């Protein structure tokens, strides 16, 4: 009888460990969704920046395709490098913060193992485990220093201490997504020029803005049409304003 009770208790404790560990899997899914969202937002930035730049320069000197191309390529590179550098700095800072917190946790675990064990029991109790089960789970996990650190890092800091450093990858990723968005309105100017190139940039810009807006809406779980039309409206205003300013400056300086 006592044996079955112990086994049932053990099973409940094991189940509780699995329950608590579940967020690990779902967090990875979130991170993946976050990556896609970041790509769409980066491409949207690139599109808006270069649509404005291309039309601004075209408004000032619409007959000269090489000027528009030069400005567009410069805008693409400047924006993409700036996005990548920003990503590099922020991911590095985030990593260093995690490393520092994990180091503090590692020190606490070696210097005050009893206090850390009580802390872990408290966290499992807060998750709804009985005092017995919380004690069992916490003692099992605390036996192995590596598992103990891993558990404390996840539960207390909400981080994976062995997550690979991905600063370089994130930087390249934002460079590419910005560049993809930025190349779209510039594309026609490699083949045509003048009014037809302006019209082509506007049409490509409008379609891309609609598509990106729809994707942003689907990630946010909102109405796809609403976000698509809003993105189109933002692009239209930016394009009209820069084209107007370009035309005004172009005629005033020439």
Which of 46, 152 has the CB closer to Zn ion?
A: 152
How many Å apart are CA 61 and CA 194, to the nearest integer? 9
Residue that the structure tokens 């509780």 belong to:
16
Taking a C-beta distance cutoff of 8 angstroms, is the pair 147, 168 a contact? Answer: no
Rounded least distance, CB 158 to Zn ion, Å? 13
The CA-to-CA distance between both ends of the chain, in Å, stands at 97
Segment contacting Zn ion by CB under 5 A, of 149-157, 188-196, 227-235, 240-248: 149-157
What are the helix (H) ranges across 61-191? 65-111, 113-126, 131-143, 145-152, 167-186
Which of 87, 116 has the CB closer to Zn ion?
A: 116
Residue 152 in contact with Zn ion, rule: CB under 5 A: yes
- By rule CB under 5 A, what string of x and - marks binding of each residue 77-116 to Zn ion? ---------------------------------------x
Rounded least distance, CB 89 to Zn ion, Å? 29
Residue 161 in contact with Zn ion, rule: CB under 5 A: no
Task: Retrieve residue 57's tokens.
Answer: 């320069």
Find the residue with minimal CB distance to Zn ion: 152
Which of 152, 239 has the CB closer to Zn ion?
A: 152
DSSP 221: T
How many Å apart are CA 103 and CA 193, to the nearest integer? 59
Rounded least distance, CB 119 to Zn ion, Å? 5
Which residues bind to Zn ion, rule: CB under 5 A? 116, 119, 152
């Amino acid at each position: 009888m006592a044996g079955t009770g112990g086994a049932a208790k053990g099973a409940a404790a094991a189940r509780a460990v699995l329950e608590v560990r579940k967020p690990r899997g779902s967090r990875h899914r979130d991170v993946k969704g976050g990556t896609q969202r970041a790509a769409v937002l980066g491409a949207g930035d690139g599109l808006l920046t270069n649509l404005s730049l291309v039309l601004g320069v075209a408004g000032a000197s619409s007959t000269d395709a090489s000027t528009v191309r030069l400005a567009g390529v410069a805008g693409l590179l400047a924006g993409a490098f700036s996005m990548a550098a920003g990503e590099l700095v922020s991911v590095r800072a985030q990593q260093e913060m995690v490393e520092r917190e994990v180091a503090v946790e590692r020190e606490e675990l070696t210097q005050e193992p009893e206090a850390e064990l009580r802390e872990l029991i408290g966290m499992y109790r807060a998750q709804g485990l009985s005092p017995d089960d919380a004690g069992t789970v916490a003692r099992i996990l605390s036996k192995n220093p590596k598992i103990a650190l891993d558990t404390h890092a996840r539960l207390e800091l909400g981080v994976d201490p062995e997550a690979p450093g991905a600063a370089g990858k994130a930087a390249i990723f934002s460079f590419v997504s910005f560049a993809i968005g930025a190349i779209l309105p510039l594309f026609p100017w490699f083949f045509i020029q003048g009014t037809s190139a302006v019209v082509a940039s506007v049409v490509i810009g409008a379609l891309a803005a609609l598509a990106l807006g729809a994707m942003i809406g689907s990630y946010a779980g909102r109405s796809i049409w609403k976000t698509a039309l809003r993105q189109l409206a933002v692009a239209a205003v930016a394009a009209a304003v820069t084209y107007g300013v370009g035309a005004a400056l172009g005629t005033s300086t020439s």
